[in-house]
Each structure stands twice: as structure tokens, then as C-alpha cells.
Amino acid sequence: MKKVLALVFALMMVFSCIQIAAAEEPIEIEFFQHKDEAEVDIFDEMIQVFEAEHPGIKIKQVHFPEEEADTILSTRIQNNDAPDIWNTWFSQEVFTQADEGIILDLTGSEILEPVSEKALNDTAYNGRNYMIPVTSNFMGVFYNKTLFDEKGYKIPETPEEFWALCEQIKADGLIPIAAGDMDGWNLAHWIQSIIGEYMPNYSAEFLKIYDGEMTVAEMEGIEDVADIIVKRSQYVQDGPLGADSSAMLALFVNGEAAMMANGSYWIPSIDAAEPDFEYAVFPFPGRTKEETLVQSNADLAFVISAKASAEKQEAAKTFLSWITHEGAKIYIDATGAPSCLKNITPDTSKYSLIAPYLEEGKIFRMPYSGRWADNTYLDYTVAVQNLTDTGDKEAFYSEFNDALVNNGKPETYVD
């Protein structure tokens, strides 16, 4: 009898240990992200620090390049296999996900307490907050600081000064601007910053185009934008439409090109490619110094799946609350990205000429963001590439107009 009781007691102990082990099994949440490859290691570092402080939660990072990620994510959502967390930006895709109950409404959540009021307002949809903005980005002109110092090149403050600088650099036997126009998004992103700066009424005029009241050719400032695209083609390397964004980056960091007109999201890639490379950024000049503005949008932003289990949603909230309260410092220190968080201040030394515009609100959101359908962007990109190739402005106006009209006014138009 004693042996039987001992066996029963032993079995009970084993069963109890199994229960305890099961209870202590960490919750795993999937973080799906499509930032640049250079940022995978940064997120891994963040995850390592978080997991050390929160042993009950495991974060599985899944990364795909941006050109693949949207399709993969959309397919997974349609197949009821959405990740628990993913990074996103202010777009029609997010609006649809909110309307269809795919992402959580986080309005009033303590996760958002450190986020600046402006960032919350800029990323709100129908007055609600679904996105967790952590950093913003900006568009500008990256320049080889060592070269500029050696040659005595002056930072331009007007368009005339910018093109004169390009001419001077070209005369010195260098490529003025590195281009990667094969990747249409890479070219189109920068051109949108020119649209925002040189077409002051673009938002209201887009609506008129959707309603058939005007055409792109009649928009204020469209000729200035087309002229800039054409003029830029004189100062990039030969065959820019045959070069992708990686080739653009290599030309810049290798010192073959003096400048690279693009977004702050390239900072981690520049630093990874050539850690000792000295560079900085200035704003592309508006018509006058006083009219110069900078395009800036939320860049690193997270959403939480509304389809995840309650347990995983709570774990995801714990992770993202850690990010907004302290963890984002790792990311911001590593990338130099402008912060959307009141409690974390970035190092702005690389973009000290851009920072005052961000601080003083001399900015605008990407014209595409909330004002075009997603397919419009693809068609518009081709129109920009064609203008780069042919210099045919009239064809550009027509193709841009078709991109808007054929795809139609977006379901949600955000002014």
C-alpha cells in the first residue's frame, strides 16, 4: 500500500511540474516588419533587451523587403493568418484595416501617452488612433560632407543656387546626384516632396480632378515640378532607369556622387554601408528660402491585430508600451530618426539643417498619403519614370491625370 501511495504521490508531483512548466511557457507574438534590411539587427537588439526584462513574452521578428511585404501581409490577413503586430504607415491600407476591424483601436491607451499630440493627430483616422507612431521621416538632399568641405561647396538656399551647385560639381568631374530610378518608388517618393513644396493647392485640386472640374495640366505649380524632374536628369549618372536603389546608395557612399536626394529612412543603410562616411542633409530649396518646406510623415509605426487572441493582444501591448516608454531609444539612437515620442530626443547632428523645419512645423505630409488610392501611386510612378526618360512634359501631365482619374477618388480622402 505504501508503494502504491508513493507512486501516486510521485505521479501527482510529475503532473504538477508539467502544469507549472506549461504555465510558465512564454507567450510568443509575431512581429512582421518591412523596414530596410539594415534595421533587422536593430530590432533584434530591441527584442533581446525586452525579452530579458519580460521573460514571459517571446517576440518573433519576421522580415520581408517592402516590395514583397504588402502582398504577403494582405494575403495573410485574407487567410485569417494575420501577424500579431506589424509596422505600417498612414495610408488607405490602414484605413481599410481599421474599417474592417482588422487592427485594434488604441485611442486613449497608455501605450500612446508618450506620443506627441501632433503625431497622434497626424496619424488619426476618423478621430481614432489605430497606429502607434514612434518615429517620423523627412525628405531632403544628402550630401558628402567631406567633399563639400574640401571643395568649398555652399549649401544652396534657392533653386538657382542648387542647379548652379550641380553644374559646378559636374564641371569638377563628379556625378552631382546619385539616382536609383529603376525602383520607381525611390524616385516617386522624392518627386512627391517637390509636389508638396511647389504645388501649394494640390490637395484641393486633386479633388477637382476627381470631380472632373480640372486636369493635372491646369494645377498650380505642375510645370515647376515637371521642370525639376527634367532638370534633375541632367545631373544624375548615365542610365538612371537602369540603376536600382542599391546602386544609388553605392554611388553616394563610394564618393562617386556628391549628393543623393531622398528620405531619412536611408540613414541606417548609409551607416551600415560605410560607417566612417561623413554626410549631412539639407532641404531641397523652395522657390525662395522663406517658402522652403520639408515633407515629413510618420515612419516607424505599429498596429496590433484585432484577430489575435486576447492573451497575445495583451502581450503585444506590453511590448509596444515598452517601446514607446523606453525601448524606442535603441532604435532612435541607431537610426537617427526624428522622434514622435516626447520622452526620447534624437541626435539631429546629421540633419541639423532639416531639424528647424521639423521643430517649427514647416512641413507637409506626403501628397499620396490619404489622397490617392494605392494603385494610383503605381501608375503615377510610371509617369514620373517616363518623364525622366523622355522629358515629355505634356505626356507626363496626361499620364499623371490618368493615374488619378482611372483609379478614382480614394474611399477615404484625408485633407
Domains: count for the chain: 2
Left, alpha or beta for 336 (phi > 0: left; psi -120 to 50: alpha)?
left
Distance CA 382, CA 390 (A): 12
Three-state SS sequence of 59-120: EEEEECCHHHHHHHHHHHHHCCCCCCEEEECCCHHHHHHHHCCCECCCCCCHHHCCECHHHH
Domain membership of residue 104 (yes or no) is yes
Instruction: Tell me if residue 58 falls in helix, strand or coil.
Output: strand
Looking at per-residue pLDDT, the higher value among 56 and 414 belongs to: 56
pLDDT category of residue 3 using cuts at 50, 70 and 90: low
Q: Assess if residue 58 is contained within a domain.
A: yes
Q: Are residues 313 and 324 in the same domain?
A: yes
Average pLDDT over residues 53-77: 93
Please give the grid coordinates belonging to residue 272: 551600415
Residue 212 resides in a domain? yes
pLDDT given for residue 311 in this prediction: 97
Same domain, 265 and 403: yes
| Residue 187 maps to a domain | yes
pLDDT band at 92 (very low <50, low <70, confident <90, very high): confident
Distance CA 401, CA 409 (A): 12
Residue 216 has pLDDT above 60, yes or no: yes
pLDDT computed for residue 303 by the predictor: 98
Query: In terms of domains, do 383 and 288 share one?
Result: yes
328 and 378, same domain (yes or no): no
Choose the weakest-confidence range: 129-138, 305-314, 320-329, 364-373: 364-373
Asked if residue 263 lies in contact with residue 300, where contact means CB atoms within 8 angstroms, the answer is no
Same domain, 125 and 153: no
Q: Can you tell me the mean pLDDT for 213-235?
A: 98
Residue 202 has pLDDT above 90, yes or no: yes
**Is it the case that residue 85 has pLDDT exceeding 60?**
yes
pLDDT in tens, 172-200: 999 999 999 999 988 999 999 999 999 99
Verify that 160 and 206 share a domain, yes or no.
yes
pLDDT > 50? residue 399: yes
Domain interval for residue 400? 139-295+372-407
Instruction: Quote the CA–CA distance of 1 and 7 in Å, as a whole number.
Output: 10
pTM, rounded to two decimals: 0.87
The whole-number pLDDT of residue 11 equals 47
> Residue 380 belongs to a domain with what CATH number?
3.40.190.10
With beta carbons less than 8 A apart as the criterion, state whether 313 and 320 touch.
no
Is the model's pLDDT at 383 over the cut of 60?
Answer: yes
Q: Do both 390 and 250 map to the same domain?
A: yes
214 φ/ψ angles, rounded to the nearest 5 degrees: -160, 175
Q: Position of cell 485569417?
A: 80
Q: What is the DSSP letter of 39?
A: G
Inform me whether the pLDDT recorded for 18 exceeds 50: no
End-to-end CA distance of the chain: 81
* Residue closest to 285 by CA, chosen among 384, 139, 383: 139
In the three-class reduction of DSSP (H, G, I as helix; E, B as strand; rest coil), residue 28 is classed as strand
